[in-house]
Chain A
């Protein structure tokens, strides 16, 4: 059963994608560490971290694509799951600082000493253990998504209403994490990390390993997502996206299908956040900003939702653009981003991947002079990703 599912999942495109990611996981760290600087083929340290960050963004975009592109749930709060995973990781990293903080307190992080706290709050217990922290990275976003999704989907909150309350969720978390008495560092968040798993966090080897870990995690996410969308459950998800009421009348429990997709997606986003934090070295409440979550949506849309490879391409391209613009022409970045939102929704509803698919089916049609029946590849790229109209 499992092998069968895996075999189905590994269609040609997914194999290529996973192969590329695994190759990146090996080659980029090797090029960074083994080839000396200045020589051809060397990947500079900053680029390793930068692309590691992009890959964690790509994972977040893929997670969103699973619920939006395949299940029709436009979540404007996925940044919250990302940030929660990031905070879980950040808490582990804070505990690793030990007595090397400014106040040299072995038990308490600096900001707690500063706030005059006497002992570690209960919810910080256990975070000095890496395995426990990693469990929380997945559990906390997962449980939040489960509770939130269970309530929302059961009472059939759909379409724009659902988008708005997911936005409200991340906004409420933003406000909550800004509070100092929450015990998560308030405005400044968690930063000034020293070690991860005993390795100094800023060392090139650690950076390279983190990059490799992110690439592998992304490859695994691709595997999981394509397994899900190729399974029968995946077909039902698409059915929910395209005609929710009809699917319900056919006897499927729509709310459970949605809940499954939502929770899996939230866990994936949490892991992405956990990989993001050690590479950028900080997590603060700004990550909960609703604007960030909406930006994730545009990554997915640019690449092409309802495809596996699209969100990854979209996230990397848009973020490369962002890095370039905010460095070279900072005042133009918001214009570019805004134009991207408008342009993609108006002219590229299927994203870059959809455009390529269109182009290819056009050329093949011309060659064969006969209508193409959608094969498995076209099924992935060419399925009409429009969610049902929400009147």
Chain B
């Protein structure tokens, strides 16, 4: 596939550079047979080169060396030949030549990049980049250029880059022009703009044009005003720097316009920064929500703190890993569906383990919440060590399906797909749980047991069954969370431990018996964390959050959304 693509590109660029070369040739006089022969050679090379416009080192070196002998006319021809190769390595040579910094060794005629080293020049091969030793300065000669040649070179560079067939080359050329903002490139830019179809490159070019206009003195007031507007409208990170520097050199009547667009930009930027923080916060919050919501359910219904909850998350992540391994070995085509396959499996596995834990251990400890905490901690150690024995203590590689990798640009906010999907997934899980709790018989029973266990039991609800199902549901959701977290975190036996304390904080902060409390708790903690981070740093921000929660608990010992009524107090 890639080979076919490569040869297609090679053909296209070969023919275009050839026609370019011949166009240049027609304009110039041919002065020397040698130059003509070199050009012919170059054309042959560019036609026969198999790859993407990359001539062999030796031929390119010969073309570069051809820049030295003869007069300006020969040099024109040699430049044209160099351009005709379409080799990207020719661009720096031409740039250096245009700056008048290209030298040749008089004795050998070898053209090279030089760097002063005492009374000598240290030579570098312009093609291979290899060091060529040192030569006395008097033994070298500058490859001279005149104004006409400089123009030719500039056009040539522009044509090799800005008018290239490769969109990537065009984009980077436009970006480099934007960086330098040299007024001499204005005409070239106009030419390129006329034929540019790609909107992204066009935007960069227009921005570059506007920046150049802002810098030049001999441009009309209207043009500059419009240019300032273009720069401001681009809203890019650099726009503020560009406008600030333009403000200093702008004529007085333009200053208010630039200043006002600058103020607008800074306001926008602050708003975007805040929005970005909110997004990061929401993203972190949904991770916390996923990790904590199962915990909140078991804690709410059973008054049981499940310290092994983090390990359920970890098991979910390892299920994803196992599913991907099987898919990799047996059906690689299904890789994009690996998460969809892993989700139900993870839910089932962790739910079953959860039910087993409830039936085997927790049911004997009802009414002794603190003991349950210890027993589940013991279980978490056992689960961790089991996974460590089976899968090894190191991180395992869980791949992103193609639809989860990469990022999407949203008005200058770069949102990674994995984060977007996790937010979506958290919402889906949350809504599904709401439905289960509010619209199903099991949900009704669970709510009844949460509010008053003994009364619910007296009304004929099989509380042990509800307990087992609740624990299974809570653990299963942890497993789902694990599938999601495997996409953004290291999958190691310690995965769960990293989340358990944060999940507790969410539950304690949000209160139990109400899913909305968990949602609000998770989002508040996530967003607060991300807003504290820029000021306090990640670690200190986290410490601050913990301290704030400890203080918050003093005010509301049972969280934001506490259950009310006599069943609450012992």
A→B interface (CB under 8 Å): 74, 148, 151-152, 154-161, 163-165, 167-169, 171-172, 175-176, 178-179, 244-245, 290-291, 294, 297-298, 301, 331, 334-335, 337-342, 344-346, 349, 386-391
Contacts and interface: CB of A to CB of B under 8 A. Distances in A.
B553 A390 contact: no
Nearest to A148: B550
B374 A341 contact: yes
Given A390-B370, A390-B570, A331 B385 contact: yes
Contacts of A346: 361, 364-365, 375
A151 B551 contact: yes
Nearest to A290: B501
A99 B369 CA distance: 53
Interface in B357-416: 361, 364-365, 367-375, 377-382, 384-386, 388-389
Nearest to B507: A164
B380 A244 contact: no
Given A172-B543, A349-B371, 19 more contacts: A74-B373, A154-B554, A155-B553, A158-B557, A159-B370, A161-B558, A164-B305, A165-B508, A165-B550, A171-B546, A294-B377, A297-B374, A331-B385, A338-B379, A345-B375, A345-B378, A349-B368, A389-B367, A391-B568
B539 to A, nearest CB: 5
A74 to B, nearest CB: 4
Interface of B is mostly: helix
A65 B495 CA distance: 31
B547 interface: yes
Given A155-B553, A342-B375, A163 B501 contact: no
A160 B303 contact: yes
Contacts, number: 145
A152 B549 CA distance: 12
B218 interface: no
B555 interface: yes
A197 B370 CA distance: 43
Interface of A is mostly: helix
B542 interface: yes
Listed from nearest, the 8 A-B pairs whose CB atoms lie closest are: A341-B378, A338-B381, A338-B382, A389-B367, A334-B385, A172-B546, A390-B369, A338-B378
B569 interface: yes
A160 B296 CA distance: 13
B554 A152 contact: yes
B567 interface: yes
Contacts of A176: 539-540, 543
Contacts of A178: 539
6 contacts: A151-B550, A160-B370, A338-B385, A342-B378, A342-B379, A386-B368
Nearest to A289: B497
Contacts of B36: none
Given A155-B557, A179-B539, A340-B378, A164 B368 contact: no
B150 interface: no
A172 B541 CA distance: 10
B553 to A, nearest CB: 5
Contact of A341 (B377, B453, B568): B377
B539 A157 contact: no
A74 B557 contact: no
Contacts of B540: 176, 179
Nearest to B544: A172
A64 to B, nearest CB: 12
Contacts of B372: 345
A168 B504 contact: yes
B481 interface: no
A168 B549 contact: yes
Contacts of A179: 539-540
Contacts of A338: 378-382, 385
A340 B381 CA distance: 10
Contacts of A168: 501, 504-505, 546, 549-550
Contacts of A388: 570
A391 B385 contact: no
A387 B555 contact: no
A342 to B, nearest CB: 4
A156 to B, nearest CB: 6
B501 A171 contact: yes
A277 to B, nearest CB: 24
B361 A342 contact: yes
A165 B546 CA distance: 9
Interface in B212-263: none
Nearest to A298: B374
Interface in B75-100: none
B377 to A, nearest CB: 6
Contacts of B542: 172, 175
A235 B389 CA distance: 48
Contact of B369 (A159, A165, A171, A297): A159
B375 A165 contact: no
A163 B365 contact: no
A2 to B, nearest CB: 35
Contact of A155 (B368, B388, B554, B567): B554
Nearest to B375: A345
A160 B508 CA distance: 10
B374 A345 contact: yes
B57 to A, nearest CB: 49
Contacts of B543: 172, 175-176
B374 A294 contact: yes
A160 B371 contact: no
A161 B508 contact: yes
Contact of B570 (A165, A244, A294): A244
Contacts of B539: 175-176, 178-179
B568 to A, nearest CB: 8
B504 A389 contact: no
B367 to A, nearest CB: 4
Nearest to A333: B385
A331 B554 CA distance: 41
Given A168-B550, A338-B378, A163 B555 contact: no
Nearest to B384: A334
A298 B379 CA distance: 13
A151 B550 CA distance: 9
A161 to B, nearest CB: 6
A337 B570 contact: no
B242 to A, nearest CB: 37
A301 B374 contact: yes
A389 B570 contact: yes
Contacts of B554: 151-152, 154-155, 157
A294 B377 CA distance: 8
Interface string B40-81: 000000000000000000000000000000000000000000
Contacts of B388: 331, 334
Contacts of B382: 334-335, 338-339, 342
A148 B554 CA distance: 10
Contacts of A386: 368
